[in-house]
Amino acid sequence: MRWEELTSDEFAKAIVDSNRTCVLPLGSMERHGPHMALGTDTFIAHYVATNAALSEPVVVYPQLFFGQMFDVKCFPGSITIPPKLLLELLLAVLDDIGRNGFTRIIMYNCHGGNAPLAQYVCQSQMAEKKPYQVYSLFYNANISEDDMARMEEMWDTPGGGGHAGESEASLLMAYRKDMVQLDVLNGWVGEHLGRLDHFKPGSAPLMWYGNYPDNYRGDASGASIEKGKVFAKAMIDGLARFIRVVKDDTTAGEVIEEYFRRERELQEDPKEHEA
Ligand SMILES: [Zn+2]
């Protein structure tokens, strides 16, 4: 169920039909090599979420193009908003989804640069008790081993490449073929430059950019709609399974209750907690 396509009255019913579960797709607006649309990650996140909702009813939040993109500002068309505002925005969006009556919110993230942010947003829910619970899933984190093995056979490049590579280009082609222009590549491959690899296993600013200064990793030339459909199905099934786990779960709420009860007790009678 797409939030923006429901009438207000249908929305009230959808809250019940979804077991008060909403999926918030997270993406980006950033360069995807010279050949793919800027909004790729958001399109894919929303596409997978709306298809997963067909088998596991949830309300899917409208497409959101804000995300962590401070490492891609040098490219035309990136959308960035100040860091504090971005965090405030995501927290406000979650509160507003909760205000609408949802008690389970799943952030489904398809932009690598959002991963630490999504985790921090999840953790920061414990700053104060909320009337809803937040969960998160990274796009490929719940794909089955069978699907992974099948796709490994399918890709021309190891693991399907990466950002704007064979796998992501295939996904976008399955969603909308006209947003991928393989002909502009002319044999161009997004090589791993490793300019900052000497900091590993630590980290330094612009680790990703240091490797891929055109936001293109791998070789997209073998991308196809057919491969994209296989990858999309694996992602859709993975998200649907995660939605089921979230809907069936009764433990997370108990753990959160226990956590806040202990915090309250600590404030009421700190001596109880002395060693
Ligand atoms: Zn992407």
Instruction: Kindly report, residue by residue over 160-175, the tens digit of the pLDDT.
Output: 998 999 999 999 999 9
Going from the Cα of 42 to the center of ligand 1, the distance in angstroms, rounded, reads 8
The reply to whether 45 falls in a domain is: yes
Give the per-residue pLDDT at 275. Answer: 54
Going from the Cα of 43 to the center of ligand 1, the distance in angstroms, rounded, reads 9
Task: Specify the number of domains making up the chain.
Answer: 1
The token duo for 211 is 């490797």
Enumerate residues with CB within 5 Å of ligand 1 (an ion).
Answer: 40-41
pLDDT, average across residues 89-111: 97
Q: How many CB atoms lie within 10 A of CB 180?
A: 28
Going from the Cα of 20 to the center of ligand 1, the distance in angstroms, rounded, reads 29
Going from the Cα of 222 to the center of ligand 1, the distance in angstroms, rounded, reads 17
Q: How confident is the model at residue 273 (pLDDT cuts 50, 70, 90)?
A: low
The reply to whether 17 falls in a domain is: yes
The reply to whether 219 falls in a domain is: no
Exposed/middle/buried for residue 168 (C-beta within 10 Å: 0-12, 13-18, 19+) = buried
Going from the Cα of 2 to the center of ligand 1, the distance in angstroms, rounded, reads 22
Going from the Cα of 111 to the center of ligand 1, the distance in angstroms, rounded, reads 6
The reply to whether 194 falls in a domain is: no
The reply to whether 182 falls in a domain is: no
- Paired strand residues for 23: 60, 106
Would you mind telling me the total number of residues written for the chain in this entry? 275
- What pLDDT digit, counting tens, does each position of 68-85 carry? 999 899 999 999 999 999
Domain extent at residue 108 = 3-165+234-273
Going from the Cα of 253 to the center of ligand 1, the distance in angstroms, rounded, reads 33
Going from the Cα of 103 to the center of ligand 1, the distance in angstroms, rounded, reads 29
Give the per-residue pLDDT at 274. Answer: 61
CATH classification of the domain holding 161 = 3.40.50.10310
Q: Name the percent of the chain lying above pLDDT 70.
A: 98
The reply to whether 54 falls in a domain is: yes
- Residue 270 in this model has a pLDDT that exceeds 90: no
Going from the Cα of 262 to the center of ligand 1, the distance in angstroms, rounded, reads 41
Going from the Cα of 99 to the center of ligand 1, the distance in angstroms, rounded, reads 31
- What pLDDT digit, counting tens, does each position of 198-249 carry? 999 999 989 999 999 999 999 999 999 999 999 999 999 999 999 999 999 9
Contacts of 72 (CB under 8 A, 6+ apart): 28, 30, 31, 78, 113, 209, 215
In Å, how far are 158, 174, 179, 220, 223 from 185, measured between CA atoms? 19, 19, 14, 8, 12
Going from the Cα of 251 to the center of ligand 1, the distance in angstroms, rounded, reads 33
- Three-state helix/strand/coil letters over the chain: CEHHHCCHHHHHHHHHHCCCEEEEEECCCCCECECECCCHHHHHHHHHHHHHHHHCCCEECCCCCCCCCCCCCCCCCCCCCCHHHHHHHHHHHHHHHHHCCCCEEEEEECCHHHHHHHHHHHHHHHHCCCCCEEEEEECCCCCCHHHHHHHHHHCCCHHHCCCCCHHHHHHHHHHCHHHECHHHCCCCCECCCCCCHHHCCCCCCCHHHHHCCCCCCECHHHCCHHHHHHHHHHHHHHHHHHHHHHHHCCHHHHHHHHHHHHHHHHHHCHHHHCC
Going from the Cα of 35 to the center of ligand 1, the distance in angstroms, rounded, reads 12
Going from the Cα of 210 to the center of ligand 1, the distance in angstroms, rounded, reads 17
The reply to whether 15 falls in a domain is: yes
Give the per-residue pLDDT at 220. Answer: 96
Residue listed under structure tokens 């950033």: 30
Nearest to 71 by CA among 121, 24, 112, 120: 112
The reply to whether 227 falls in a domain is: no
